[in-house]
Structure 1
């Protein structure tokens, strides 16, 4: 195996290990198989083409073509010629997937479950990462620079995942990168190792591995270190809350801290829950908002919102317009928490509404620190209106009654059994709600089994114990199985009253509930979660007359005191929360302290990335300054100038082997670049000074060499090279990085022992003898 093949394989290993660090960002590992296939294809293509052509440019071009063809084959095969040759339809399909992925990144918090558009982006990113690492490490022979894209990739889960990336993935990625550096050092011409360094047993790889081990062990052993080093802090010891709009049936929204997420003041006596977003796509275990539709920028909430879908003029005219002013504390979302249905929103920034759902999403905006005022309707539908509602439009039924084929038949059978004898969809909805709240023997608990399978709803119906997400999901799925359009709403319960018209919502108030569609009224909220969690069901879901059907209870037992239509939510004020001031504005942004609200985590990430990009230049500058600062006489001056010339001309493509004598090196440099008499004279002076320093140290006649001679020679060599080579030498000098990865301790020639200099007892290695002979 030659050096190029070995380096390519190690680069692929480092890329694969780095991709494993992205695992906390998504809830499913389905993307990794495609990513691994892409990495293998890119690496294998590069190895094969380079072996055939012995040139790097064709290998890189072939790798890019294979990457593009593989992405087409995986995600748009039906639109391409022969499955891999893209057409116009292929490009449109890939653009649509990229849009879905961008929306998923913008709207969802980690871990993301909606991989429909995100998976192609992650796989394409994996292919580009593999290509970049292979080009830097194998084609350009700068494996140290290959650490830049690897580090940038690793920074993503560190910044976004709640617990960062796992220790195992970090250690594996770090060790693969160290092996890549070590292989590069071993593959190049080995520098001579001083005897003192050999006796000391200096080993760069061992030191680096020890540093990795310390980086993993120390944070775990020191209790004062935060487990999440890159997180936001509001200056009051409270972390930012993010409510994930992707709802796994196994996740609990109830087991959260009591930190205040928002405060609001409303004209309603008994406010309804605040809705963040609706989820209408169900795949068997997960609910997610629908993606893939662009929102026109003209749909700004400040200009007013449309009438809620399905809401008739008659019902709307009977609704009462209310006003709610909200102050967001430590809640960061792209979706805006609002009462439903909203009419107008006074808020700063670009906030757009979705036509079909009235979800409000920020165009580059988040809720953190916002103050806004909402005008909304208090719709209290009559029982007769819901009973007499005509069938939903076909477009609504097609979207909101869809169920996965894998849904167990037992779920549909249970829905028919529970609603047996019901005369209309309203009665079916009421019976489903009562079944979960009172008559079905269900209990509310956050200590539930982690099934997470496609039969999660069936498992919940069997165990009869769960939390709000499971109750809401089960009712929505059963309603869909009966032909009633249904979806899930994610948001907050009203919270606790802290004053006259003032309310406080904590992270523990996160909640999910089903919404069922009735033409004329639109989307109607129901509450299947037991009274232990939600004391009051909506008044319209408690009919005055209940038929005595299977699974039902008499009307007098159905209307418990805690569920009576006039009962208000618990209003026990919190002493600590009541002392908080609620200076609510009308669209102003709440700034408690601009310094505290700055995204310091992102500043740190950007600083680290910039430092990584500047590392080659900085390390080269430090190396040269230390080299010239250690000069003590004419001999040291000659050695420093010669080493500086060797490093700088190497970056310009004029390298010579370490075994070459100064005369051989000067001749090779002269052949590489046509030097003018002035530059040639400077090279001759430098060569003679080095020979004097090595073979007659301390002899009379030596003088300090000026750094200007080195600059003059390097400038002459650079002037004859393409601009791309000149810029690469300026931006990515390799001397400093080689010094960092070098395993020996450099010793100036003037201070080496008699057994450490070539020609004084040190025999060149066989490969070096061969190169010396060939150069002659």
Structure 2
């Protein structure tokens, strides 16, 4: 194999290992099939072009085209001609998916959901990394620079994944990279030959030993140093390194702000299943935004250190049945005037002037911010029963009027709310029906893309498109609850985050979240969770009625009223939105649709595995057939000589698969002497071995007489005297040799004959 071919294979191995190290960033591993397939496609294209055309620059262009072809096949969605040739629609689709993927990165916490846009970025990124590594290591012959793209890939999980970059993954990338570096040191391979026949020097051995020691030390030393935990390859941002600000004013077109995965809040709690940390509640809705009400100045006497007033609407009976919990919170990278707290808080031990609002229990700093704060919270774990929620009496008039106020809404909003809750018998059932509609029965999907319209029709657009992020879900449920005369508001805060150890959690800006709170007299403000489980996990147990809710009319669960199209925002695509909003009305998928819907990433991966498994046997059979077919084209003595050479080559290939190898300079007689150790004197195998050796020596040299060759007595004859040899003569010798070899070698030779692969590599071996 040529040096460039070896470098290309090691470059592909390093790229594949680096890409595989990103597995912790995504919930599922389906994307890895396409990503590793892209790496193999890029590496294979480079090997093929350089081997055939000997043009390095052309290889780079072909690799880029092949990578584009992989993306078109996997993500083109039927827009490409014959499934491969991209069209303008193909590029438009890829651009749309790429935009979605960027938004997934910005808005999802790690591990992220394996959405199609993110999968496109991962597969494309894997192919580009393989292309860059191959470019530096093979095309430009600068293997040291190949470490730059590898390092860039490793830095992503290093910075974002909770466990950092694993030691095994680091070693898997480090070994092929070190081999690439060693291959670039041409001065090393000189002097006396080693066991492999390749010359090497003390300098080469020293360099290899140094690299091995350095690799082991990089993994082992950090784990042994006091103060470093079992995750030595983790970037940890200290206080103040990353500052996030969560906007308390929710625009229905905007997300909740910064989406960095760096830790901004850590906390420890004795609550078994922590609820979200609430920053602020927004209760004023103008059709476009939710904002906290301005109820005037907060008396300085309302200090959280002195204890907060009881939560609004919470009865003594429910409060007494609730469990008192304690949570210690440390702010590492959040700069906010509102204090993140579990709800409802009873007391906050914190330095500085922090005041609370009595009607919302929002805690705001009097000239203070959250940056760098550490504080302890005593709070209640309120778990109302279904009976308490069902039996709740009407809200006080002040609460009812204030928290059901709405601007003029499109008809689709109120009509859909009435349809969804048509079978409900009380406010609790109506609230549960709304939550179920958004989470499961309504056909909604969590997406990183907000509805197209961000104005006064945003809620209507969301109901039609059935796709959005938490702001849309929380806002739509709160608005629809208000339209049903259920007091509602929107809370802004953080999901519980990731549990790093029992009772300890970390929160990043990606955990920023919004959810609706509905008022039930006796229980107070109660969290519901309309955002699908892909983002939030299980909804609170009390929001799932044990008593079944009477079903609404069949059309109400998923389909808006006929007026939905008329109520949709101007300029929206009526056909597409109505199709999305009414799954029952969609046309039956065609055969082509079903074909396109197949999991082509897995199919391609399976095909690649099948091809990889069959390639050795198929290529070896092809080499053998061509070898013997060439013999039949000759005549007379030429045919005999050709059959001798073919038989000897066949014998060498097959015993090579059984683990018997010789340097290229070894004569046929020396090789026959080694093989004679596996044959009994006078046996058919010994006779055939003698005949094969005599034939090949006769074909090459020609002589007479009997000459001992180790344990083989050879009657030297010309090729024409030995007659034409066939494959069965070789089979007898190979079977005798195989009987004396380990079982695993026999199975490997039978299942994975490598003669064809060796011929392909030798074809490129031009050093």
TM-score tier after normalising by the smaller chain length: 0.3 to 0.5
TM-score normalised by length of structure 1: 0.40
